[in-house]
Structure 1
Amino acid sequence: MIRLANVNKVYDGKYALRDINLTIKKGETLAVIGGSGSGKSTLLQLLVGLIRPDSGEIYIGGQEITHLSEKEMDKVRLNMGMVFQYSALFDSMTVGENVAFGLREHRKLPEVKIQRIIKEKLDLVGLHGVEKKLPSELSGGMKKRVGLARAIAFEPDIIFYDEPSSGLDPITTVKIDELIVDMQKKLGVTSVVVTHDMASACRIADRIAMVYEGDLIAVDTVERFQQIEDERVQAFFKILHTEKTERDE
């Protein structure tokens, strides 16, 4: 579904990403982890086509996207859904209007069908009867769910998640993780989740990829990833175990 071949991105003479080679299979959930400034957000921006690599190739569904015009890239993006870090809802619009925003911008559909899609997608993410509410009336977790409903309104093949647990308490984070897994099972989508939260990555992912100072240093299943001896990988698990111990105490 997604393939990166020898991808490089440079800012001010410094590599943000260096020689990235990665294949993401159709229908799988890949968690991309890394600390602040590691390059994981740059990787996400490249996949969505918001920025272009300095060299290398990126394939989405078999189509090489790095040389597409913005108009051509917009067509590719219709097969993508994006769940933003802080939901990125329009405060002046109702929940229903937020979910339907992309549909009204890019699809000529009867209003009856749009309303049906709104209800269907909100029901799918566990939100019933909130169409008329404003984002300010929702909790952080509910906003994330609305963002996901908007992302799946087009019935995309790929969903990108940017730090989905950011700003959420541990209980709500687990609920959002369960929702990500549920969407993958129900919709069969390919999911790419960018996160710094190792516990979350272990709950949701089929595989984990770790970016460190612009390099892709490890890619493996959750079970095998925990056995990687690289000290940079193990440092993430030490943080996870420390946080768990502190919660247990």
Structure 2
Amino acid sequence: MIRLVDVCKSFGDKEVLHHINLTIEDGETLAIIGGSGSGKSTLLRLLIGLIRPTSGEIWIGDTEISRLSEAELDKVRLHMGMVFQYSALFDSMTVGDNVAFGLREHTDMPEKEVQRIVEEKLNLVGLENVAHRMPNELSGGMKKRVSLARAIAFEPEIVFYDEPSSGLDPIMTEKIDELISHTQQALNVTSVVVTHDMASACRIADRIAMVYEGELIAVDTVENFKNIRDERVQAFFHTLRTVKEA
């Protein structure tokens, strides 16, 4: 589904990502972890085509996207859904209009069908009867759910999540993790989750990839990842354990 081949990214003289090679399988959930400034967010921006690599190739299915025009990229993005770190809802629109936004912008779908999809996707994320409400009436967790409903309205093949547990308490974080897993199973999508939360990554992922100072230092299943002896991986686990104990 997704393949990065020897991808490098520099901003001026600073190399942020160094020779990244990674394959994300069709239908799997991959968690990309790393500390602040590790390069994981830059990697996500490359995958959705917001920025382009300095060198290397990025394949989405059979399409190499790094050299596409913006119009061509937009066609590829129609197969993607994006859940932003801070939900990125339109404050002046109702919940229903937020979920319907992409459908109205990019299709000629009859309004009756748009409303059916909005209701269906809100139900899927556990938000029945909230389409008429405004974003400022919702909790942080509910906003994340609306953002996910909007992301899957197009029936995407890939859903990207940028720090989905950011700003949420541990109980709500677990609920969002359950929702990510449920969405993957219900829609059979490929999910890519960028997170600094190792506990969350272990709950939702089939595999974990760790980025450290711009390099991809480890990729493995959750069970195997826990046993990687690389001191940088273990330091990340130790830091998280220390935070939890505190």
- Band of TM-score, shorter chain: over 0.9
Could you tell me how far apart the structure 1 residues matched to 2:243 and 2:18 are?
A: 31
Q: CA deviation at 1:239?
A: 2.2
What amino acid does structure 2 have at the position aligned with 1:42? T
Q: Which moved more, 1:153-162 or 1:11-20?
A: 11-20
Partner residue in 1 for 2:15:
15
Aligned partner of 2:200 in structure 1 is: 200
Helix, strand or coil: the match of 1:130?
A: coil
In structure 2, the partner of 1:48 is: 48
Supply the distance in 2 between the matched residues of 1:14 and 1:203 (Cα, whole angstroms): 34
Instruction: Render the CA deviation track for 1:42-93: whole Å, top value 9, x for unaligned.
Output: 0000000000001000000121111100000000000000000000000000
1:235 CA displacement:
1.1
What CA deviation, in whole Å up to 9, does each residue of 1:103-145 have, x standing for no partner? 0000111000000000000000000000000000000000000
Query: In the aligned structure 1, how far is the partner of 2:175 from the partner of 2:21?
Result: 32
Aligned partner of 1:169 in structure 2 is: 169
For residue 151 of structure 1, what is the amino acid of its counterpart?
A
195-204 vs 230-239, greater mean Cα deviation: 230-239
- State the partner residue of 2:191: 191
Instruction: Report what 2:234 is aligned to.
Output: 234
- Residues 106-185 of structure 1: pairs in structure 2 closer than 5 A: 106-185=106-185
Paired residue secondary structure (2:193): strand
The DSSP-based 3-state class of the residue aligned with 1:16 is strand
One-letter code aligned to 1:176: I
Q: Secondary structure at the match of 1:183?
A: helix
Letter in 1 for 2:47: L
Name the counterpart of 2:87.
87
How far apart in 2 are the matches of 1:236 and 1:115?
Answer: 45
Distance 2:24 2:171 in 1: 29
Question: Could you tell me which residue of structure 2 aligns to residue 4 of structure 1?
Answer: 4
Structure 2 letter corresponding to 1:188: N
Q: What is the alpha-carbon distance in structure 2 between the residues aligned to residue 163 and residue 235 of structure 1?
A: 20
**TM-score under structure 1 length normalisation:** 0.98
Residue pairs, 1:220-231, within 5 angstroms = 220-231=220-231
2:7 maps to a residue whose letter is: V
Structure 2 CA distance for aligned equivalents of residues 215 and 90 of structure 1: 35
SS of the equivalent of 2:59 reads: strand
Q: 1:16 is matched by which residue type in structure 2?
A: V
Q: What is the percentage of aligned positions where both structures have the same residue?
A: 74
Deviation, 1:15, is: 1.1
- Tell me the TM-score normalised to structure 2 length: 0.99
Q: Equivalents in 2 of 1:178, 1:104: separation in Å?
A: 29
Q: Give the paired residue count.
A: 246
What residue ranges of structure 2 are gaps of 5+ in the alignment? none
User: What is the match of residue 74 of structure 1?
Assistant: 74
